[in-house]
DNA sequence: GAGATATACGTTATAGTATAACATAGCGCA
DNA sequence: TGCGCTATGTTATACTATAACGTATATCTC
C-alpha cells in the first residue's frame, strides 16, 4: 500500500541512505551493487520494491530522462532541475507555473492528472567553475 | 549527423509511417515487430538508428514517461500531453510558460539547456465518453 | 578509372532496466 | 492456534538500448 513516510522498512532505509549519500541520481543497478557490497546476495526485486515504496512515500522520484532515482522530495507537482555537469538534482516549486499550465489544458478539456517536468542544463556552481 | 527533414532513408520512412499510422506512441520493439512483418529479418539497431535520425530531424520524440516513441513534431521547447485512456499524444506550445520557467531558473544562476515536460491525464474526448 | 572518404545498413552479441511468479517468514489479532 | 497481512527472498524472464564489427554504395578527387 502507499505507505506514509513515518516508517520505512530496512530495505527502504538502506536504499534511501545510499541515495542521500550520493550527490547525483543512481540507477537501480548501482543501488543493487551497493546493497550487495553491504549484505551479499541481493536481487533486483529487492531494490525495485524499496524504490517503489519510497516513491509512494514521497521521498524519492525516478528521473525519467536519466532512468535513475533521486532523493528529491516529491514536490508533486514540481519541477526537477538537473545539472548535466555535476549531476546534482533538485526539486523546485513552481506553483504559479503549474497552475497556468493546468488552466491552459483545462480550457481544452484535458483533465490533468500528473506532470513530469525535468529541466537539464548547468547549475550556477558549475558555470562559475568554468568562468 | 543531425540530418534535416528533407530526406529520409527508407528505414526512417518506414518507422515514421508506422508511428503515424498508430494512434498512440509505440515502443521500439513494437516497431521492430512491424518491420519484421513487413520485411522479415530486422534487428534492434535498425530500429534505433532510424529513431535517432527521426528524432534529430525533429519529426518524432521519445516519450520518457512511456519509454515509447511518438510522431510529435519537436516543438522544442514544448509540452507533450498524453491521454492515459486512449493513449493519444500531442504537442502543445507554451512559450510564455516556458519563458517564465526559464527566467525563474536563470535568476538562480541555472543555465537551462533543454526541458522535458510531459503531462498525463484524460483528454476531452475520453471524458465525454464516460460522461 | 583507382583510391579515399562518408553514410547507411546488416549482423551478432551484450549491456542495462524492470517485473512476474512463487515461496517463506514474521507479526497482530480474532 | 490459526488467519490474514506485509515484507522479504528467490528464480526466471521480459523489456529497452547500444557496442562493435563488417559490407555496400555513393561521391569526390586526382
Least CB–CB distance from B119: residue in A65, A109, A115: A115
Same structural domain, B66 and B84: no
DSSP B92: E
Q: Per the CB < 8 Å rule, is A111 touching B94?
A: no
Which nucleotide, over all strands, has the C1' atom closest to the CA of B43? C11
Which nucleotide, over all strands, has the C1' atom closest to the CA of A69? C17
Task: Please report whether residue B5 resides in a domain.
Answer: no
DSSP lists the bridge partners of residue A90 as A81
Same structural domain, A21 and A43: yes
Residue B60 has what pLDDT?
95
Same structural domain, B90 and B58: no
Q: Per the CB < 8 Å rule, is A115 touching B113?
A: no
List chain A residues with CB under 8 Å of B78: none
Q: Identify the domain boundary among A70, A104, A120.
A: A70
Q: Per the CB < 8 Å rule, is A120 touching B112?
A: yes
A53 CB less than 7 Å from any atom of strand D: yes
The total domain count for chain B is 2
Residue B103 has what pLDDT?
92
Task: Please report whether residue A1 resides in a domain.
Answer: no
With beta carbons less than 8 A apart as the criterion, state whether B124 and B106 touch. Answer: no
Same structural domain, A46 and A20: yes
Distance, C-alpha A35 to centroid of its chain: 19
Task: Please report whether residue B124 resides in a domain.
Answer: yes
A67 CB less than 7 Å from any atom of strand C: yes
Question: In a 3-state reduction of DSSP, which class is residue B2?
Answer: coil
List chain B residues with CB under 8 Å of A84: 113
Same structural domain, B26 and B64: yes
Q: Identify the domain boundary among B50, B70, B90.
A: B70
CATH code assigned at A95? 3.30.1490.190
Task: Please report whether residue A3 resides in a domain.
Answer: no
Q: HEC profile for A70-128?
A: ECCCCCCCCEEEEECCCCCEEEECCHHHHHHHHHHHHHCCCEEEEEEEEEEEECHHHHH
Task: Please report whether residue B54 resides in a domain.
Answer: yes
Q: Per the CB < 8 Å rule, is A122 touching B114?
A: no
B42 CB less than 7 Å from any atom of strand C: yes
Same structural domain, B16 and B65: yes
Least CB–CB distance from A112: residue in B101, B108, B121: B121
pLDDT band at residue B131, thresholds of 50, 70 and 90?
low
Distances (CA, A) of A1 to A16, A47, A49, A56: 18, 17, 12, 8
Residue A95 has what pLDDT?
86
Q: What is the mean pLDDT of residues B57-81?
A: 89
With beta carbons less than 8 A apart as the criterion, state whether B124 and B112 touch. Answer: no
Same structural domain, B14 and B57: yes
Residue B6 has what pLDDT?
62
B99 Cβ contact partners less than 8 Å away, ≥ 6 residues apart: none
Reported as a single tens digit per residue, the pLDDT across B23-49 is 999 999 999 999 999 999 999 999 999
Same structural domain, B58 and B84: no
**Rounded distance between C-alpha atoms, residue B46 and residue B124, angstroms:** 37
Which three cell numbers mark A115?
Answer: 506532470
**Rounded distance between C-alpha atoms, residue B46 and residue B28, angstroms:** 10
Residue B46 has what pLDDT?
98
Least CB–CB distance from A97: residue in B92, B97, B112: B97
Q: Identify the domain boundary among B20, B45, B70.
A: B70
DSSP lists the bridge partners of residue A68 as A63
CATH code assigned at A51? 1.10.10.10
Same structural domain, A49 and A87: no
Domain range enclosing B120 = 79-129
**Rounded distance between C-alpha atoms, residue B101 and residue B26, angstroms:** 30
Reported as a single tens digit per residue, the pLDDT across B87-108 is 999 999 888 888 889 999 999 9
Task: Please report whether residue A37 resides in a domain.
Answer: yes
Same structural domain, A34 and A64: yes
Same structural domain, B97 and B120: yes
Task: Please report whether residue B22 resides in a domain.
Answer: yes
Per-residue pLDDT 10s for chain A (131 aa) are 444 456 899 999 999 999 999 999 999 999 999 999 999 999 999 999 999 999 999 999 999 999 999 999 866 668 999 999 999 999 998 888 888 899 999 999 999 999 999 999 999 999 887 76
Residue A15 has what pLDDT?
98
Task: Please report whether residue A23 resides in a domain.
Answer: yes
Amino acid at each position: 500500500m502507499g505507505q506514509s513516510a513515518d516508517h520505512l522498512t530496512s530495505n527502504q532505509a538502506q536504499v534511501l541512505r545510499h541515495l542521500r549519500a550520493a550527490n547525483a541520481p543512481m540507477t537501480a543497478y548501482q543501488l543493487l551493487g551497493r546493497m550487495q557490497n553491504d549484505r551479499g546476495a541481493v536481487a533486483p526485486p529487492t531494490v525495485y520494491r524499496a524504490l517503489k515504496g519510497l516513491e509512494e512515500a514521497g521521498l524519492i522520484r525516478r528521473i525519467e530522462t536519466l532512468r535513475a532515482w533521486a532523493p528529491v522530495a516529491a514536490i508533486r507537482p514540481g519541477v526537477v532541475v538537473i545539472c548535466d555537469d555535476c549531476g546534482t538534482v533538485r526539486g523546485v516549486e513552481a506553483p504559479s507555473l503549474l497552475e497556468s499550465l493546468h488552466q491552459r489544458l483545462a480550457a481544452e478539456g484535458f483533465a490533468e492528472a500528473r506532470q513530469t517536468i525535468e529541466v537539464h542544463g548547468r547549475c550556477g556552481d558549475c558555470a562559475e567553475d568554468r568562468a
